[in-house]
Chains A and B, each alone.
Chain A
Amino acid sequence: MYTAIEWKLWRVEMKIYSDDMKTPWMCDKCQEELIMEKTNVLYIDANFEVELMKCPVCKMVYIDEDLARGKMLEVEKALEDK
């Protein structure tokens, strides 16, 4: 349901995004610092595997505003028009 190019773009941009990440956030419940880990994100019929920051114990994933309102929104819109 999504093209290989879109998938790659998403991967590349997420990688750039991940490399730049220096988050001040830590998991409040587990009191752990966040780590980068492969995570699945889903929308409509698409399923991407991307690296995102998460708590190593409870696996709660952190999505920052730039990602949510930037690349994520863009991919949501593209998938909605598929």
Chain B
Amino acid sequence: MDLDKLLEIGDRCINEEPPACTAHCPVHLDVKSFVEEIEKGDFKKAYKIMEKRIPFPRIIGMLCDNPCENVCVRNNKGGAIGISELEKAAVYYGYSKPKKLRPLPPSKKTIAVIGSGLRGMTAAYDLNKKGYKIDIYEKNSRLGGRLWNYINETLTKEIINEEFDFVNSNNINLYLNTNVDIKTVEEIAGKYTAVLLSSSDLVNQYKCDNLTFQAGDSNIFSAFTEGNNNSIIFAASAGRRAAISIDRYLQNVSMTASRENEGSYETVLKYKDDEEEEKKRVEKKSHIYSREEAVEEANRCFKCQCRDCINPCVHLKRFNIAPKSYIRNINHNERIIQGSHYANKMINSCTECGLCNEMCDYGVNMKEVIEKTRESMVLRGKMPQSAHDFALKDMKFSNSERFLTYKKEVNKDKVKYVFYPGCQLPASDPEYIERIYTYLTDNINEGVGLMLGCCGAPADWGGQQSLMKESADLIKNAWEELGNPIFILACFSCGSNFEKYMKEIEYISLWEIIDKNPLPETLSGKDLTLNIHDPCTSRHNDKAQESVRNILSRLNCQVRELKFSKDKTKCCGYGGLVYFANREQSEDFINDRINESPEDLLVYCTMCKDLFISHNKRTFHMLDLLFSDNLEEASMRKMPSLSDRQHNRMMVKKDLLKNIWGEDVEMDNDEKLNITLTQEVKEKMEELYILLSDINKAVMNSIETKERFFNPKDSSYLTRLRIENVTYWVKYEIIDEKITVLNVYSHRMEVVEGGNENIQ
């Protein structure tokens, strides 16, 4: 896996980009976190967040001109958030004395700061923290310049003096009542390692660089930027940036590297407020917000962040993660040699539905990332065996002689089409296959063959590229033998796989065929009101989506479109084999989708139907409307058990070959033993992916070999049999030659019985 390419995709995600307020704030206060703390009522934490970014927060918090409010996204929906008032409230209710930091080892270098307004004081404060000695020259008799003009009930003299208390440090010398003019600047510059000019009269005499604040390559720096010279917060920011330059100059490191986002800038985040409701700004009833008013105002904040892909995706929500961080986790998972691969479960919980890509303005496609990641895990032997084991075995079953077959239409040498129903439709609704096939041959004169099998979707989802190739080769061979017909597909997972791995094979959806032909005479689903759930694998097949809607219109059904439909449709929870790898995650998907739909659902993918009905949502498959005997029963019919699904596939093959081609096929059947299962056992078989055939084999083996335990208390037996990579345990009793299975369980670990040659 190309990890550099992977990280590049992650870099495109803008989830961690700041909101407009923070980007526009020249000192980059983390407004979102600040407001979130106020919303929680934690004014102390909110103050601490201010303290991290804002110098002298009790002064600036009270005086800030808040350019952030001009760019607030709330402006169009009831007025900008009162960040200014919230800062005042945080200072008023949340101030606590700053922690005394351990001073850095003092530097021998001394810096002259000329002028003690907010610019000079900010620079002096920052440089002093870095251990430099500072000499402050001030023409007046006190520090602070124009700040004293703003004294009021919330910004008192005492507060200003306390905030400037750092000047009493041994490393700072004050030269009050000392005027420095242009002549003396040069003199001072000769005496100090660096000089900062924070008085506008002096700065005008020097041409300083806009980024580095440096006058030529001298040791003289300015604390002014172009424009915004009347802004309190821009003044503080300029002082801070000049201090960064002086520090870099004294450390002899690059003056320009990584300074792109210093000062105010425009964020790439464009928060989408279309669905946000208008809410008026909270007016303060006194000179400052009450705590309650502040909390209410904070509540109006959108907390702008790009969550375009996260909000509609229950997978990203469950793991509370954005692609940027997700990709960092994958990168770590791919690189570690020792230790746990903690991201495995997350990687196997994505349905690979591709909705994230549809929602993203920057082309971050997690579907592709997850596909590549799973392929890499398989190649490196790091894919957890249990995640996809059953689905892959089920696929193997479908591509074995028990289901796989292909035939030309009876009495036709050439067929233009071949009907390929996939593996899940025959498993869930076996009775429809013959009806559909007959409908197709009745309506199409150019010949319609039949192919049964699995397209390889489980292998594709599980990252098993070699198994996928085997499946695709099976289909390609059949296609060639049948004379290169067009495949008629009833499943869009098949469609996706045909597009990805069998480009040479032309295909069309069953719905487009039905759309162009008379409706079947068996149709029963008319005049219904339905929400359409498009399968996620049909996302880019607008022709098929249109055909489905056309058929519904011909059936006089009223269609109510869901918010997430067509190219923005959601997954039902089966995609990506999440149903097997993380059942709880799969259930999130099911619930999310069925709760979106007030009406009965209309689907045209078998697994979507089975999953929605498993959560008691009335759901019709398009085929129910066209081919069902009992529409009501079909809309609530539970998914057959795993064993029955395989049995149904076998019967579809057997019945079709018999009824259409007049061929008799012998099938293994698991009914050789007279076995009864308790309800509890049936449920456990589904939960633990145990098939009736596994139980049969274990019981038969135990009867033949006597390899079993016996409980004399209740005369029951317990046996075990290892089949491939799983050991199955079956507890049973035999009464009057009738076997009743009382319990089943399994494990993957191998137990060595006696020598290594006897593993169970």
> By the criterion CB–CB under 8 Å, are A25 and B711 in contact?
yes
Q: A42-B752, A60-B753, A81-B342 are in contact. Are A73 and B709 (CB under 8 A)?
A: no
- Chain B, residues 703-723, CB within 8 Å of chain A (1/0): the string is 001111111110001101000
B750 touches A43 (CB 8 A): yes
Q: Which of B711, B748, B759 has the most CB of A within 10 A?
A: B748
- B751 contacts A28, CB within 8 Å? no
- A28 cross-chain contacts in B, Cβ below 8 A: 706-710, 717
Interface-forming stretch among B173-181, B511-519, B632-640, B739-747? B739-747
- Size band of the A side of the interface? 20 to 34
Interface assignment of A36: CB less than 8 Å from any CB of chain B = no
Name the residue of chain A whose CB is nearest to the CB of B752: A40
Min CB–CB distance A54 → chain B (angstroms): 7
Residue of B nearest to A50 (CB): B751
User: If A41-B752, A52-B751 touch, does A60 touch B707 (CB 8 Å cutoff)?
Assistant: yes
Q: State in angstroms the CA–CA spacing of A34 and B339 once bound together.
A: 38
Q: A68-B729, A81-B341, A82-B340 are in contact. Are A76 and B710 (CB under 8 A)?
A: no
Which chain B residues numbered 723 to 760 have a C-beta less than 8 Å away from chain A? 727, 729, 743, 745-754, 756, 758-760
A68→B754 contact, CB < 8 A: no
B68–chain A nearest beta-carbon distance, Å: 45
B214 at the interface (CB under 8 A from A): no
Do A41 and B709 have beta carbons less than 8 Å apart?
no
The answer, yes or no, to whether A14 is at the interface (CB within 8 Å) is: no
A35 at the interface (CB under 8 A from B): no
List residues of A (50-82) whose CB comes within 8 Å of B's CBs: 52, 54, 58-63, 65, 68-69, 72-73, 75-78, 80-82
Q: Which of B537-564 contact A (CB under 8 A)?
A: none
Contact B729 A63 (CB under 8 A): yes
Q: How far is the CA of A29 from the CA of B758 in the complex (A)?
A: 16
- Complex: A37 Cα to B344 Cα, angstroms: 35
B330-346 with Cβ < 8 A to chain A: 339-342, 344-345
| A residues near B746, Cβ cutoff 8 Å | 68
Partner of B709 from A25, A65, A68 at Cβ < 8 Å: A25
Q: How far is the CA of A52 from the CA of B706 in the complex (A)?
A: 20
Partner among A24, A62, A76, A81 whose Cβ is within 8 Å of the Cβ of B749: A76
Q: Which of B706, B712, B747, B748 is the one whose CB lies under 8 Å from A29?
A: B706
Q: Give the CA-CA distance A59 to B756 in the complex, in Å.
A: 12
Chain B contacts for A72, CB-based, 8 A? 747, 749
Decide: A24 and B711 in contact? CB cutoff 8 A.
yes
Nearest CB of chain A from residue B569's CB, rounded to whole Å: 32
| A24 to B716 CA separation, bound complex (whole angstroms) | 10
- Identify the closest chain A residue to B750 (Cβ): A42
State whether B751 touches A63 (Cβ < 8 A): yes
Q: Which B residues lie within 8 Å of A69 (CB)?
A: 745, 747
| Closest residue of A by beta carbon distance from B384 | A80
Whether the pair B745, A82 counts as a contact (CB closer than 8 A) is: no
Does the CB pair B707–A41 fall under 8 Å?
no
Asked if A75 contacts B751 (CB within 8 A), the reply is no
Using a Cβ cutoff of 8 Å, how many contacts connect chains A and B?
98
A41 touching B386, Cβ below 8 Å: no
The CA-CA distance from A41 to B760 in the complex, in Å, is 9
Residue B204 lies at the interface, judged by CB distance under 8 Å to chain A: no
Distance of A53 from chain B, by nearest CB (Å): 9
Residue contact B753 to A24, C-beta cutoff 8 Å = no
> Is the beta-carbon distance between A61 and B751 smaller than 8 angstroms?
yes
Asked if A62 contacts B709 (CB within 8 A), the reply is yes
Measured between beta carbons, the chain A residues less than 8 angstroms from B749 are: 41-43, 72, 75-76
What is the bound-complex CA distance between A29 and B707, given in angstroms? 6
Task: Using A25-B718, A54-B753 as known contacts, say yes or no to A81 and B747 having CB atoms under 8 A apart.
Answer: no
Whether B747 lies near A63 (C-beta < 8 A) is yes
Instruction: Report if B438 contacts A (CB, 8 A).
Output: no
B616 at the interface (CB under 8 A from A): no
A54 to B693, CA, bound (A): 27
Q: Inside 8 A of B718's CB, which chain A residues have their CB?
A: 25, 62
* Chain B residues within 8 Å of A61, by CB: 751, 753, 760
- In the bound assembly, the distance between CA atoms of A44 and B717 in angstroms comes to 30
Contact flag A59-B385 (CB < 8 Å), given A54-B753, A81-B340, A82-B341? no
Give the interface centre of B342, B344, B751 by most chain A CB atoms within 10 Å: B751
Chain A residue at smallest Cβ distance from B708: A28
Q: A40-B752, A42-B749 are in contact. Are A24 and B713 (CB under 8 A)?
A: yes
- Whether B748 and A26, one on each chain, are in contact in the complex, defined by CB atoms closer than 8 angstroms, is no
Cα distance, A62 to B751, chains bound together (Å): 10
In the complex, chain B residues whose CB is within 8 Å of the CB of A60 = 707, 709, 753, 760
Give the shortest distance, in Å, between A11 (CB) and chain B (any CB).
15
Q: Roughly how many angstroms separate A59 CA and B712 CA in the complex, as a whole number? A: 20
> Is A80 touching B712 in the complex (CB atoms < 8 A)?
no
Contact of B340 among A29, A39, A78 (CB under 8 A): A78
Contacts of A29 in B (CB 8 A): 705-708
User: Which chain A residues (11-29) contact chain B, with CB distance < 8 Å?
Assistant: 24-29
Residue of A nearest to B754 (CB): A59
- Note all chain A residues with C-beta closer than 8 A to B759: 42
B462 smallest CB distance to A (angstroms): 14
Task: Tell me, in angstroms, the Cα distance from A78 to B342 when the chains sit together.
Answer: 10
From A25, A26, A39, residue with most partner B Cβ within 10 Å:
A25
Residues of A contacting B710 in the complex (Cβ-Cβ under 8 angstroms): 25-28
Within 8 A of A (CB), among B559-603: none
Chain B residues within an 8 Å CB radius of A43 = 748-750
**A80/B708 contact (C-beta < 8 A), A63-B729, A69-B745 known:** no
Query: Closest residue of chain A to B758, judged by CB?
Result: A59
The residue that B745 contacts in the complex, of A24, A25, A27, A65, with Cβ under 8 A, is A65
Residues on A with beta carbons closer than 8 Å to the beta carbon of B743: 65
Q: B584 to chain A: closest CB distance in Å?
A: 15
Q: Report whether A77 and B386 are in contact in the complex, using a CB–CB cutoff of 8 Å.
A: yes
B750 contacts A26, CB within 8 Å? no
Supposing A29-B706, A41-B752, A61-B760 touch, asked if A77 and B384 sit within 8 A by C-beta, the answer is yes
Q: Which residues in A have their C-beta under 8 angstroms from that of B342?
A: 81
Q: Report B575 CB to chain A, min CB distance, Å.
A: 22
> Could you say which of A28, A77, A78 has the most chain B C-beta atoms within 10 Å of its C-beta?
A28
Contact residues in B for A65 (Cβ distance below 8 Å): 729, 743, 745
6 sampled A-B residue pairs with Cβ under 8 A: A41-B751, A58-B753, A63-B751, A68-B746, A69-B747, A81-B340
- Known: A41-B750, A63-B751; 5 extra A-B contacts, CB below 8 A, are A41-B752, A43-B749, A58-B707, A62-B718, A63-B727
Per CB-CB distance, the 6 closest pairs between chain A and chain B, nearest first, are A80-B384, A25-B709, A59-B754, A29-B706, A28-B710, A40-B752
